[in-house]
Amino acid sequence: MIALAVFVGLSGLVCLTLAVVNPRRTWARPRGPEAREPSAAVVITLRVALLGMAVTSAWWTADGLRVATVDPGPDHDDIVERMEAAAEELTSGEPRQKYPAGDGAWAAYIVDEIRRPGEDVVLRLASASSNTERYEADGICLTVVASVAPGEPEPKYAHIDDRRYKLEADVKDRPCP
Residues 34-70: tens digit of each pLDDT: 666 777 888 889 889 999 999 999 999 998 888 777 7
Residues 6+ apart with CB under 8 A from 115: 121, 123
Confidence band (pLDDT; 50, 70, 90) for 134?
Answer: very high
* pLDDT digit string, tens, across residues 75-117: 788 888 888 988 898 888 788 888 765 567 788 778 777 777 6
Averaged pLDDT of the chain: 82
**What number is the average pLDDT over the span 119-148?**
86
CA distance 105 to 132: 10
CA distance 115 to 134: 17
Secondary structure percentages of the chain, helix, strand, coil, to 5: 45, 20, 35
Look at residue 177 and tell me whether its pLDDT is greater than 90. no
CA distance 152 to 175: 34
CA distance 94 to 74: 30
pTM score, whole prediction: 0.56
Q: In what order do the strands lie in the sheet with 124-128?
A: 96-97, 164-172, 140-148, 132-137, 124-128
Judge contact between 103 and 110, C-beta under 8 A.
Answer: no
More confident residue, 134 or 92: 134
Judge contact between 126 and 141, C-beta under 8 A.
Answer: yes
